[in-house]
Amino acid sequence: MNLSARSWFGFLLLAIGLISTSLSASAQTIKVGIVGPFSGPFAHYGTLFKNGVEAYVASQGGKLAGKDIEFIYRDTGGPNPGLTKTLVQELIVKDKVDYLGGFVFTPNAFAVAPLIQQSQTPTVIFNAATSAITDKSEFFIRTSYTLWQVTVPLAQWAAKQNLKKVVTTVTDYGPGIDAETAFKSEFSKQGGTVVESIRMPIATTDFAPFVQRIKASGAQAVYTFLPGGPPNLGFVKAYNENGLAKAGIQFLGTAETDEFDLQKFGDAAIGLTTAFHYSAAHDSPANKKFIEALKKRDPNAVANYASVGAWDGMYVIHKMIEATGGQRDGLKALVSARSLQWESPRGPVRIDAKTRHIVQNVYLRKVEKLGGLLVNKEVQSFGPQIDYGLDK
Amino acid sequence: MQTLLNISIDGVAYGMVLFIIAVGMSVTLGLMRFVNLSHGAFAMIGGYCAALLTREAQWSFWLALPVALLVTAAFAVLLESSVLRHLYKRSELEQVLFTIGLAFFLIATTNALAGPQVQLILLPPLLAGSVDLGFRTLPAQRLFVIGAGLIVAALATWTVAQTRFGIWLRAAVDNADTASTLGIPIRTVQCASFAAGAALAALGGVLGAELMPLEPYYALKYLVLVLVVVAVGGMGSILGSLVAALALGTVETASKYLASEWGNLFFFVAMALLLAWRPQGLLKR
């Protein structure tokens, strides 16, 4: 896009913005665009988002701040920045959405930053977890987590447990490298040694060789990061079957014991240690209300980090609608969002005024069996954590 | 030395899993010359049957395994006699288009019926544990797969080379019209061979599930691995597939031990070199 085309586009957006401002002054429906994968191998994220946002609106009696809410869902498939940019442009220009939410993949979120910056559309990230996203536009607010946020307290805890030698094994792609760097830098700051850093190819199905390398490294614990779904299962199986658990090599993870697949692990998962911001087993009235609202919408709905990200994302949008009285005013909405503080299903949280990332408690959890079901039992709270990846 | 031993053990174990999931394809694509890209979907059906029977119906694994194979074979017979048989004489492109479409259809159906989650097959106590080899442990399931792979390879090779059915099959594929005039029931032979290929796919789906967990996208996710094994092994050569699977499995495992930062590079380099050396298949000159 050359310069004149760019400025024309900006003018167009501005004009549309002005027209729709005058329109939405009379209309009482707030439009929220939800962008995520609704088909293909990641479609379950779309379902989790949909359940989360719709359960939230239902729990508020179907209206937010007295306004009707219309959700417009757009399907990105997998990581696809080009398509996402087109879809979001359509949402802004044609559908004239007031707010945007969703985003599972980091590249998709990066792609829309210039669009939301120009149109001043407040955009809430429900999932994508790379620290730098909120730097790309001041209209990004994030209600998920970052790998730095959950990994740093885990590394500190590991050092306090007198673990001296740890091996890191991460899947070889963006978030995996993030996780490795976060653990290494914090753990060595605390006086520990990372004896080996193994990066596993993303298409790995047989984890036995890596598990043997972990065993051979002489480490007391393994810090690991894997993308959700089948690789998680494969790694945990290999960890158990090759006798790592028996050899006393402790498992340190983050999202690996996610509720979505947890029951499929079977008893092999019992005792796995993770540090994370949300457990469906979190004991609080807010979490009970969240799970009830989800089950009311769909008895099979899963309460996990993605659905809680969507639920809290809707809370933020709700408060922005309140603050602007339903008017389209991205800047005013953003000012109100920057000082939000509330009781989320995951515990007390707030939006950091500077980074627009959620500050939340991170918990140490162990997988336990409760009434025949596996749960992530929170055994210790590390207290409120910021995103250490942004605040360096 | 320890590493070398580890590489060979894990390499053979991984190679056998590759062979088990590819052997069904070796029968349909190699022997029947039918480009069946829905192979993975048949494996998935077998795996899902075993998962549902062991988990939901609480059946024993040893009972669920043959039942899953039979169900998949029955489904294949139904599909072959109603639709797929019309494709044998069509061009390869048409076969590819139809079967890949079928795979997508089965993915969507599986997703709608069983949901997007990973499905787990409950293993019997005998296979769930690990075996202590003295210097390291190996999952018992992996030993079972190695045994099953050897038996399947021997049985399939013997059937094709030594039995009357094998002779009929080769005759029916090479020249269907002549075979038919000689009184060979070619429809029965084709249908039974396709069903056998599907049953072998199901066996791979069930036994390979430990490494390649079952989920709706299973049908396409591992298709490349299967095609590589069959191509390197040579069309219609079951022993060739076995050798190719073991060689590629060992290369992949060695690269995980020694050079994991290179990803899957060595696997595909090995494939390219082997194909350049023996384009007709490893065991053919």
Q: For residue A392, is it within any domain?
A: no
Inter-chain touch B264–A203, beta carbons under 8 Å: yes
Kindly identify which residue of chain B lies nearest to residue A38, measuring between CA atoms.
B116
Q: For residue A263, is it within any domain?
A: yes
Specify the residue for token string 């398509």: A83
Is the pLDDT higher at A320 or at B280? Answer: A320
The string of DSSP letters for A187-224 reads: HHHTT-EEEEEEEE-TT----HHHHHHHHHTT-SEEEE
Inter-chain touch B213–A234, beta carbons under 8 Å: yes
What does the pLDDT read at residue A15? 60
Say if residues A58 and A293 touch (Cβ distance below 8 Å): yes
What does the pLDDT read at residue A79? 87
Range of lowest pLDDT (A165-179, B73-87, B131-145, B262-276): B131-145
What does the pLDDT read at residue A157? 95
Region B131-136 average pLDDT: 79
The 10s digit of each residue's pLDDT in B182-202 is 989 989 999 999 999 999 999
pTM summary value? 0.82
Best mutation target among B120, B135, B207 (most A Cβ atoms within 10 Å) is B120
Q: Which two tokens stand for residue B130?
A: 């690990």
Nearest beta carbon to residue B211 from set A43, A202, A205: A205
Q: Are residues A170 and A305 in the same domain?
A: no
Kindly identify which residue of chain A lies nearest to residue B255, measuring between CA atoms.
A209
Number of domains in chain A: 2
Q: Which two tokens stand for residue A190?
A: 């605390």
Q: Are residues A328 and A372 in the same domain?
A: no
Q: For residue B176, how far is the Cα from the chain centroid?
A: 26
What does the pLDDT read at residue B210? 84
Q: For residue B114, is it within any domain?
A: yes
Report DSSP state, residue B98: H
Range of lowest pLDDT (A148-162, A349-363, B25-39, B149-163): B25-39
Q: Are residues A40 and A133 in the same domain?
A: yes
Mean of the per-residue pLDDT values for chain B?
90
Task: Quote the minimal CA–CA distance from B241 to chain A in Å.
Answer: 19
Inter-chain touch B222–A205, beta carbons under 8 Å: yes
Cα gap B68→A16, rounded to integer Å? 59
Q: Are residues A371 and A228 in the same domain?
A: yes
| pLDDT tens, chain A, 392 aa long | 455 556 666 666 556 655 555 444 445 799 999 999 998 778 889 999 999 999 999 999 999 999 999 999 999 988 899 999 999 999 999 999 999 999 999 899 999 999 999 999 999 999 998 888 999 999 999 999 999 999 999 999 999 999 999 999 999 888 888 899 999 999 999 999 999 999 998 888 889 899 999 988 889 999 999 887 788 888 988 898 888 888 889 999 999 999 988 888 888 889 899 999 999 999 999 999 999 999 999 998 999 999 999 999 999 999 999 999 989 999 999 999 999 999 999 999 999 999 999 999 999 999 999 988 999 999 999 999 998 887 55
Kindly identify which residue of chain B lies nearest to residue A258, measuring between CA atoms.
B117
Q: For residue A391, is it within any domain?
A: no
Q: Are residues A139 and A203 in the same domain?
A: no
Task: Quote the minimal CA–CA distance from B39 to chain A in Å.
Answer: 19
Residue A82, burial from CB neighbour count under 10 angstroms (0-12, 13-18, 19+): exposed
Cα gap B48→B37, rounded to integer Å? 19
What does the pLDDT read at residue A12? 61
Nearest beta carbon to residue B14 from set A44, A200, A206: A206
Q: Are residues A224 and A75 in the same domain?
A: no
Task: Quote the minimal CA–CA distance from B210 to chain A in Å.
Answer: 7
- Partners of B137 on chain A (C-beta within 8 Å) are 241-243
The radius of gyration of chain A's CA atoms, rounded to the nearest angstrom, is: 21
What does the pLDDT read at residue A188? 94
Task: Say how many CB pairs under 8 Å bridge A and B.
Answer: 95
Inter-chain touch B120–A208, beta carbons under 8 Å: no
Nearest beta carbon to residue A230 from set B2, B215, B257: B215
Cα gap A374→A363, rounded to integer Å? 17
- Has residue B67 got a pLDDT over 60? yes
The 10s digit of each residue's pLDDT in B102-121 is 999 999 999 889 888 788 88
Kindly identify which residue of chain A lies nearest to residue B55, measuring between CA atoms.
A264
Q: Are residues A252 and A340 in the same domain?
A: no
The 10s digit of each residue's pLDDT in B213-257 is 888 888 888 899 899 999 999 887 889 999 999 999 999 999 989
Give CA separation, B278 vs A237, B157, B231, in Å: 37, 21, 10
Region B115-135 average pLDDT: 83
What does the pLDDT read at residue A6? 60
**Interchain contact B4–A (C-beta under 8 A):** no
Q: Which two tokens stand for residue A297?
A: 């919408």
Nearest to A153 by CA among A357, A382, A389: A382
- Partners of B2 on chain A (C-beta within 8 Å) are 216
Q: Which two tokens stand for residue B139?
A: 């999952």
CATH of the domain at A304: 3.40.50.2300
Q: Are residues A222 and A348 in the same domain?
A: no
Cα gap A153→A383, rounded to integer Å? 9
Q: Are residues A130 and A14 in the same domain?
A: yes
Q: Are residues A258 and A183 in the same domain?
A: yes
User: Which residue range is the domain that position A212 belongs to?
Assistant: 147-276+362-385
A31, β-bridge pairs: A70
- Partners of A44 on chain B (C-beta within 8 Å) are 116-117
Q: Which two tokens stand for residue A286?
A: 């807010």
- Partners of B226 on chain A (C-beta within 8 Å) are none
- Residues belonging to chain A: 392
Specify the residue for token string 């439009």: A31
User: Which residue range is the domain that position B41 belongs to?
Assistant: 2-277
What does the pLDDT read at residue B74? 97
Q: Are residues A196 and A51 in the same domain?
A: no
**Interchain contact B268–A (C-beta under 8 A):** no
Q: For residue B284, is it within any domain?
A: no
Task: Quote the minimal CA–CA distance from A78 to chain B in Å.
Answer: 13
Q: For residue A258, is it within any domain?
A: yes
Say if residues A167 and A196 touch (Cβ distance below 8 Å): yes
CATH of the domain at B232: 1.10.3470
Q: Which two tokens stand for residue A386?
A: 């910021």
Number of domains in chain B: 1
